[in-house]
């Protein structure tokens, strides 16, 4: 009797596999559920090396967790895709996926086939995406008031307690994105990599500031170099200002001290020629990806040139873009056209360390957010918050539609699905209604995290939306159901809501399609062939 699989392979089939996968995803969803909304709670994640992360950012949580279950890993990938596409809404995507599979499990109990549920969910998703703009508000991207409201909603679940701190972070986020945005016809081209983060421990979060220029988290290479240069001409190089060691090891033999002196003089002449070539091109600031030895630093200090060494490649490229410089790979062809320009290059003390500021750059594309805080945990969470708020501003500028928050969009789409479900015949109608139930669960979760009576909130929301109040939602801060969340400034980017629907539907339907589970047996270590000294070579006869 032959076996299809290797010995030790595990195989499960049928509905048990499907229910096991649903349970795994629901467990992951339940874990993130309490982090949803402005009153959502944080998670403390401790790595195997005892590094502590405190956050309620969905993508950070799923990335830091070592998820083993293959079905849960599918949802983690969906959350990462959500973050890649729009940079926000990762918690919502995971939680809604859990709700969809919870409703799907109820349909499985009613003997509805998974294929019918999948088709119903896809149809429900199409209905939502086709009607989403009907409930959206198109905004004027030059109106910063709308940008502030949307950014405030995005940051409302973060840890900042002071209103002044929150307002400062909102202003920094809007100014940073507007500074790097390039308008093309009716749209914007925005590259968030032009925004650099520098974290310096010390002071409070309130001291965080936007630098309209580029900040290198480095010090000037030598103490005798100047600390400030105005009207700086900047050479950015990716070669070392030193005598590089040859790849092949070699020995030099000397028979007299004069030969040693001559060898050192030759080295000095070589390094001086490199510095002179850059100085003759007009450079008074030199930034290198590689090293600068003491000889180079001496000649640069003598010529009143600022030198900065061992800069990472990514920072080098961003700085070159900011100051309008070309990265110089060889000193032979250097020319004044290769240099960048900044009004001021200055080394400043920030906290207990120093950094070099490039302000008034030629291109003015790059900006730097200088993050301050009492600890690394606080600064890391502040950076994650900035990532969310920057993506929010970017999304609204590129896709200028917003919807009312507080569960208003989900409740209105739930009502729309129930209306459309009546026109659909057969069991597929049940799947569309199940999708509507999942959206309502989303609104209920917001009420629960705010400490409200979820049943009472749901009844009120259904009543208001049935009367045509499409912006009715839950005001978490006041603990009431409001008739118009847009009026009180609770707004979400439409593109984030649409991406949540797409990501959740794709993840849920992918899991519902699985009915077989085949886990390969671990590979066995290869055994040594032949015994000690007694083995026969192929072709030999005993």
Cβ pair 174, 204 in contact under 8 A: no
Average pLDDT over residues 191-198: 87
Mean pLDDT within 329-344: 89
Residue 91 a catalytic site member: yes
| Mean per-residue pLDDT of the chain | 84
**Mean pLDDT (whole number) for 330-349:** 90
- Across-strand partners of 137? 402
**pLDDT, tens digit, 9 for 90 and up, residues 434-451:** 999 999 998 888 888 777
Q: d(Cα 35, Cα 159) in Å, to the nearest integer? A: 12
DSSP 292: B
Q: What SS3 class is residue 516? A: strand
Banded model confidence at residue 263, pLDDT cuts 50, 70, 90:
low
- In SS3 terms, 341-387 reads as EEEEEEEEEECCEEEEEEEEECCCCCEEEEEEECCHHHHHHHHHHHH
Assess whether 90 carries a catalytic annotation: yes
Average pLDDT of 58-70? 78
Selected residue with higher pLDDT from 94 and 17: 94
Contacts for 167 with CB less than 8 Å, ≥ 6 apart = none
Q: Are strands 285-288 and 209-211 parallel, antiparallel or unpaired?
A: unpaired
Note the pLDDT of residue 300: 93
208 is catalytic: no
| Catalytic residue, candidates 55, 90, 151, 505 | 90
What pLDDT shows up at residue 173?
Answer: 92
267 Rama sector, left if φ>0, alpha if ψ -120 to 50, beta otherwise:
alpha
Tokens of 92: 């919502």
- Please state, as a whole number, how many other Cβ atoms lie within 10 Å of the Cβ of residue 415: 19
The yes-or-no verdict on residue 507 having pLDDT over 80 is yes
Strand partners, 308: 287
Lowest mean pLDDT among 63-67, 90-94, 195-199, 342-346: 63-67
Average pLDDT over residues 61-68: 78
Are 125 and 62 contacting, i.e. CB atoms less than 8 angstroms apart?
A: no
| pLDDT tens digit sequence for 31-45 | 888 888 777 777 888
Active site residue 60: no
Alpha-carbon Rg for the chain, nearest whole angstrom, is 31
DSSP secondary structure string, 124-169?
Answer: HHHHHHHHGGGS-EE--TT-HHHHHHHHHHHHTTSS---HHHHHHH
pLDDT of residue 526: 52
Is it the case that residue 527 has pLDDT exceeding 50? no
Dist CA 360 CA 346 (whole Å) = 12
Catalytic member of 53, 55, 60, 91? 91
Q: Considering the entire predicted model, what is its pTM?
A: 0.78
* Closest to 213 in 3D by CA, of 357, 351, 370: 357
| Calpha distance 26→17 (Å, rounded) | 14
Please report the pLDDT score of residue 1 as a whole number: 40
Q: Say whether pLDDT at 538 is over 70.
A: no
Show the CA angle centred on residue 371, arms to residues 318 and 203, nearest 5°: 145
Percentage of the chain modeled with pLDDT above 90? 37
C-alpha–C-alpha distance, residues 340 and 322, integer Å: 8
**3 state DSSP class of 182:** strand
Catalytic residue among 388, 449, 505, 509: 388
Span between the terminal Cα atoms of the chain, in Å: 34
The pLDDT of 503-516, averaged and rounded, is 89
pLDDT(537) > 80: no
**Confidence tier at 260 by pLDDT (50, 70, 90):** low
Question: Would you say residue 535 has pLDDT above 50?
Answer: no
Residue 170 above 60 pLDDT? yes
Pairing between β-strand 353-361 and β-strand 213-216 as defined by DSSP bridges: antiparallel
Which pair of structure tokens corresponds to residue 441? 């669960």
- For 149-160, what is each residue's pLDDT tens digit? 899 888 876 665
Return the higher-pLDDT residue of 440 and 57: 440
């Amino acid at each position: 009797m032959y076996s299809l699989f290797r010995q030790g392979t595990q195989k499960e089939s049928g509905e048990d596999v499907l229910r096991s996968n649903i349970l795994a995803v629901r467990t992951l969803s339940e874990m993130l559920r309490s982090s949803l909304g402005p009153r959502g709670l944080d998670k403390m994640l401790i790595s195997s090396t005892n590094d502590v992360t405190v956050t309620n950012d969905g993508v950070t949580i799923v990335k830091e967790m070592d998820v083993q279950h293959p079905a849960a890993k599918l949802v983690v990938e969906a959350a990462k895709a959500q973050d890649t596409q729009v940079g926000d809404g990762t918690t919502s995507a995971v939680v809604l996926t859990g709700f969809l599979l919870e409703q799907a499990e109820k349909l499985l109990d009613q003997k509805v086939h998974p294929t019918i549920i999948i088709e119903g969910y896809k149809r429900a998703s199409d209905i939502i995406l086709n009607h989403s703009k009907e409930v959206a508000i198109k905004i004027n991207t030059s109106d910063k008031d709308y940008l502030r409201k949307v950014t405030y909603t995005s940051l409302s679940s973060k840890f900042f307690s002071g209103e002044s701190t929150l307002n400062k972070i909102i202003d920094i986020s809007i100014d940073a994105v507007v500074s790097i945005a390039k308008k093309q016809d009716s749209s914007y081209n925005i590259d968030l990599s032009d925004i650099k983060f520098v974290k310096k421990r010390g002071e409070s979060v309130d001291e965080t500031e936007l630098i309209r220029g580029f900040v290198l988290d480095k010090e000037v290479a030598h103490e005798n170099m100047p600390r400030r240069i105005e009207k700086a001409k900047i050479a950015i190089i990716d070669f070392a200002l030193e005598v590089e060691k040859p790849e092949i090891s070699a020995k030099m033999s000397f028979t007299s001290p004069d030969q040693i002196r001559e060898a050192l003089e030759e080295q000095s002449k070589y390094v001086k020629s490199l510095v002179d070539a850059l100085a003759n091109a007009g450079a008074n600031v030199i930034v290198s990806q590689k090293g600068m030895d003491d000889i180079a630093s001496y000649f640069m200090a003598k010529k009143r040139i600022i030198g900065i060494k061992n800069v990472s490649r990514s920072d080098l490229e961003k700085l070159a873009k900011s100051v309008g410089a070309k990265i110089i790979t060889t000193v032979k062809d250097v020319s004044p056209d290769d240099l960048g320009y900044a009004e001021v290059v200055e080394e400043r003390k920030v906290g207990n360390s120093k950094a070099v500021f490039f302000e008034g750059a030629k291109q003015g594309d790059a900006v730097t957010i200088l993050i301050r805080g009492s600890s690394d945990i606080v600064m890391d969470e502040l950076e994650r918050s900035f990532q969310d708020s920057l993506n929010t501003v970017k999304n609204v500028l590129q896709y200028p539609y917003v919807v009312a928050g507080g569960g208003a969009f989900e409740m209105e789409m739930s009502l729309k699905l129930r209306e459309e479900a009546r026109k659909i015949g057969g069991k597929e109608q049940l799947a569309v209604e199940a999708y509507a139930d999942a959206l309502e669960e989303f609104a209920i979760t917001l009420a629960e995290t705010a400490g409200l009576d979820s049943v009472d909130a749901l009844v009120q929301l259904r009543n208001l939306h049935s009367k045509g109040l499409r912006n009715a939602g839950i005001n978490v801060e006041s603990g009431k159901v409001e008739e118009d969340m847009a009026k009180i400034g609770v707004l979400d980017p439409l593109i984030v809501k649409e991406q949540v629907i797409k990501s959740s539907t794709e993840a849920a339907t992918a899991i519902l399609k699985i009915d077989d589970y085949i886990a390969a047996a671990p590979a066995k270590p290869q055994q040594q062939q032949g015994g000690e000294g007694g083995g026969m070579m192929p072709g030999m006869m005993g």
